[in-house]
Structures are given as C-alpha cells and as structure tokens.
Structure 1
Amino acid sequence: MKMITVLLGALLLIGINDMDSIEVNAEESNFNKAEVIKNMQAADSSQEDIEKVLSKLENGEVLDSEKQMHGESMNLFNNEMKVSKYGVVNTNALKDDLEKIIRYKDGSFVKVNVGIENQEPGGMSIMANGAVIKFTPSLVLPTASAGFTANIFIANDTRSSNYINRVTNGRVLTILGTYEGKRLSITRKNEIQRSKSPAQAQLSWKFRGIKDVVSQSQWLRIEAGHHIGGRYGVRVTSHPYGITTQ
C-alpha cells in the first residue's frame, strides 16, 4: 500500500467529513503553531524553512504558497499501472510519480500526492476485465490540507473503460483563513473513450485568506482513462495548486 497526501489553510484546525458548508473567523482564532509545524515536517521541510514560515505567519504576512496561482498537474502513467490478474497495481513501478512538491523561497510549499491502496490478492473487487482500486488524492500546504478517497475501476485493456465507483471522506483542514461550500462529487462517472474524456471526480471549496488577501475557488481532482497524456493512466490535479499522477 502506497499512500500520498494533500493539504490547504485557516487559523483553527477544522475537519469536515460531510457536505455542509463551514466558515470560521480566522482573525478571532489562535494561531496553531504546532499544526503548521506538523504539516511542514510531513513535507520534509528543513528547520530553517519552518522557522521562516513561522516568522512570516507571526508577523501577519501571506505565504508565497498561498499567493501563487498554479495550475500544474501530476501525471501517473506507466505500462505497469494496469491491474494484474489478482487485482493489484504495481505501485513499486509508480512510487517516484506519486508525489510532487513545489517549494518557495520563503520556506512555504505546495505538496500534491496520491495513495494507492492494494489489498491482498483476493481481497479486492476483481472482474475479468479489471479491478476496483482505492485512490486517495491529497493536497498539503503549511497552513491547510484537503483530500478524499475514490474507488476507481481500472480496466486491463481498451475494450473496457475506466469508471469511478464511489467517492468518500472529503475533507478540508484549515489553520489560517476560512473556507465554505465544500462539495465532493463524481463529475464524470464513466470514461468516454471516443472523445478521450477520462472518468472524473473532485472535491471543491471556496477559500478566503486572512483579511481577504486571497479569495478563490479551489479544487482537488482525480481522473482515470486511456488517453491521459496520450497514454493510459491516472491524473491528480489541484487548482490553483497542482500535480498529476499517471
């Protein structure tokens, strides 16, 4: 089992596992230094970077990671991505492609990754033409995080199309700022091969930084299909931050 994680930000750490909208007044909350340190250590940040980020936050400054408007993606594709007869994906062949980190001069970062959960042979939903695999895309910043779980049918060949079976555990955690309107949904259940349109699911929310320095719609998305980047694969993207896994 290979797991990968993703995060995003506000003052009070908040976890949401339902579809309700939530908003917090970050300016009335206490700065949770321990949670910022925890996020940064999870991204292997140096002690120097941690101290630089904490200094900026204590001075009320906006991190570079929260000001950037990236739309990159993380592609995960490999001939060995296909499912074995036991319904298991060869994650060893993909381990170098399951995570991407963008680092900034002020010590902040954006980390996007995806986890693939392989159970023991016989423990998964296996069919003659493929298997259902559990993926966990996630996003991490010093001051926030987001992620969800998607059960995706991965086809063994082009005679069958991939599809998203289920999405669960949508979560947005914020340490500085506020968010509202969290929504987890399957936006395209089945891959449409003739138009090269992959199956797609996403978690979306509206984020607002302290004093409205940053105010934007954000999302974390996973796609699966035979034509991602001109080949078979899975892609994880985040907006405005990003990475892709195939």
Structure 2
Amino acid sequence: MLYPLSTLTLGPILIGQGHYVRRVTPRLPEPDGEREGVTGSGPELRLLIVGDSAAAGVGVLNQSEALAGRLAVQLGQRFRLHWRLLAETGRTSGDVLRALAREPEASFDVALVSIGVNDVTGRTRDRQWLTHLDELSGQLADRFSVRHTLFTAVPPMHLFPALPQPLRWYLGLRARQLNGLLDEFCRNRTGARFLSVGFPLEPGYMAADGFHPGAEAYRIWAEYSACAICELAQTTTR
C-alpha cells in the first residue's frame, strides 16, 4: 500500500528527480575483455551468467575486475570451468527473456542471474515480475539444461549515492518489494536459489557514477557467488 500511495503523492517530485539523475549521471561503458572462456582443472562445470549492466560489469574497466572475470578465476581453482556471459546495460527481466530466446540452445550446469534494477526504474508490476521469473527459470532449464539458477538480490537502491531523496527512498522501497517476491519465488521453485550479498555500506564500493558496483563490490559479489556455486556443484558436476 505504501508504494502506490507514494507514487501518487510524490509523483511530480519523483519524475523531476528522475529526469535530473538521467541528465547528470555519467554513462559508464561496459568493460572490455572476454565474455566466455575455459579455465582451471578438475571436475567439469558449465556456468552461464545473464542479466543487466551489473552482470555486464559496468563500473570497472575490464571484465577481469568484474563479476564474470573474478568468478572465473575463483571457480577455476576447483573446476574445469566453461563460462559464458550474456548481459547488456538496461535490460529488464523481460529483456533478458527475449535475449535468451534469440540464443541457440546450449548446455550449462548453473546459471547466475542479475536482474531487477531496471525493473524497479521501469516500474515492472508484481505479476509481471513473477511471470518473468517463472519463464526465465523455465527457459534456462528447458533450452540451456540448467539445473540450478542463482538469482542475485536486487541491490539496496536506498543506498545509491547517485539518487537524491525522496527518489532514493522510493526506489529502495520498490527494490525491497521485488526482493521479497524473488525470495519467495526461489523458496517455492525447484532449482532456484536466492543469493543475498552482504555489500559493505561504504561509498567506496560504488563506481564513479554512484549507481553501479565498483571493483571491490564485484570482488565480494564473486566471493558470495562462488561459495554458493561450489555448494550446488556437489550435485551438478559431471
């Protein structure tokens, strides 16, 4: 009830602040570097990373500093890792679905999904969000043979320094709502797992735009992800 009421009462202020943020926030490019590869030795593990600008690594200069590159290094210490990154700036959950549908079928053991920020700013409705989660899980299982899907929590947007108040509070509220739905979905969906990352609250963990992760945040995200994937890999490696 609080979210729709806030939308109604704060609408003009939020719209004005949204236009201001888009105008003054620097647009950081996606980093250079490989988006797929094979590394390490040990049991075979196939990893697919999909999602938005955070999954794509915006906020650092090279993929080696981003989620995919750091995760490949960590998992390569235990597995013969085959990994691939399919992510692009601006993608909502619906955009990720459509992008995956254009990809040829392939085989992966685990998928790591980063979505939600653009669903918050794009005002994806609850029912749409849950439908997209369900369809995304199904598509990953049916077309990509994924047995376990890690859904990273929507980041704490109420802490994004690029956002002025009350826009920061408002978007943070919606991010928490989507996380609640995502957590519940994962509890009730076989093969889905909710991954909550304990990012420090210090501003230094954010990129220069105050909106994306910085190198240290990607390091922490990769550590959390690697631990979860290693747990799941006990039943997925072949």
TM-score by length of 2: 0.28
Q: Which has the higher helix share?
A: 2
Task: Report which of the two structures shows the higher radius of gyration computed on alpha carbons.
Answer: 1
Larger RCO of the pair (alpha carbons < 8 Å, separation 6+): 1
User: TM-score, normalised to structure 1's length?
Assistant: 0.27
